Amino acid sequence: MLRGAGFVLHTLPEVFGGEDAAQQAKDTEWIAVAGSKGWAALSKNHRIRHNQLERDALVACGVPLFTLATGQLGHAEMAGMFLLAMGEIFRVVGGDPGGGLWMVYRDGRVLRRWPAELADR
C-alpha cells in the first residue's frame, strides 16, 4: 500500500537478501544499515523503546524510527496508519531530528518518545 501511494521503501528481506537473512538480522544491525543510508525507519515493533541497545543504536546511527503505538493489526491497518501519519512523518524528518523513536497513533498523531528528554509532552 505504501509503494502504491508512491513512497519508496526498502524491506528487511530486500536489504538483507531474503526472508531468512532478514529474520536473523538483529535490530541493531538494520538500524546501522538505515543510518548508513540516511533512511528513516518504519516498524510495528514498539518494544524497541524498552531495549537500551536498540535505543542507543537509533541515536548513534541518527535513525528516526516511527513505530505503531498499537499492536496486533493486519497489514492493511498498519499501512493505513502510516499513510495517515505520513505528512507528519515527513515534517519530523524534514526538521533533521537526529535519531530517536516516534510513536504513530491511529489518528495520525506522531509523538517523540525517545530520547526521553526530547519526548513530546
How do the domains of the chain map onto residue ranges?
12-118
Q: What is the pLDDT of residue 105?
A: 94
Distance CA(25)–CA(12), nearest Å, equals 8
Per-residue confidence band for 47, with pLDDT thresholds at 50, 70 and 90: confident
| Inter-residue contact 68 to 106 (CB < 8 Å) | no
Task: Please give the mean pLDDT across all residues of the chain.
Answer: 91
Percent of the chain past pLDDT 70, that is, above it, reads 97
Q: Report the side by side order of strands in the sheet with 100-104.
A: 41-43, 64-68, 100-104, 110-114
Per-residue confidence band for 93, with pLDDT thresholds at 50, 70 and 90: very high
* C-alpha cell of residue 3: 509503494
pLDDT tens profile 10-39: 999 999 999 999 999 999 999 999 999 999
Beta-bridged to residue 114, according to DSSP, are 101
Place of cell 509503494: 3
